[in-house]
Amino acid sequence: MLWHALAFAALGLAVASAVMRLLPATRLPSRRLVLPTGPVAALTGGLLARAILGPGHLLLTLLAAVAVAAALLSLLIRPSGRRESAPHPA
């Protein structure tokens, strides 16, 4: 169980690092928020998936960990810029 938790946290850190490399710094909040969010989200998603699916589904729990980390990290992404929107009809 400890090895799974470490694997989930490492996957979350890898996802957070990839997000920080792929997106410009203007689209993300500070590193102090992005880097811990990945491992915590992956750990939560992985442990929750393990509790639901059982101990025999390692690949599915790893995928769930990555999916939850990616989903929570996507919530931190800021819009790319202001768009001029058309006025709403009255």
> pTM for the full model?
0.81
Rounded distance between C-alpha atoms, residue 77 and residue 60, angstroms? 26
With a cut of 70, say whether residue 87 has pLDDT above it: no
Token pair in block for residue 78? 């800021």
The span from the first CA to the last CA of the chain, in angstroms, equals 59
Helix boundaries (H) for 1-90 = 2-22, 31-53, 58-74
- pLDDT of 16: 93
- pLDDT of 82: 60
In this structure, the number of other CB atoms found within 10 A of the CB of residue 10 comes to 15
Q: What is the pLDDT of residues 12-61, one digit of tens each?
A: 999 999 998 988 888 888 888 889 999 999 999 999 999 999 988 989 99
What phi and psi, each to the nearest 5 degrees, are found at residue 41? -65, -45
- pLDDT of 40: 96
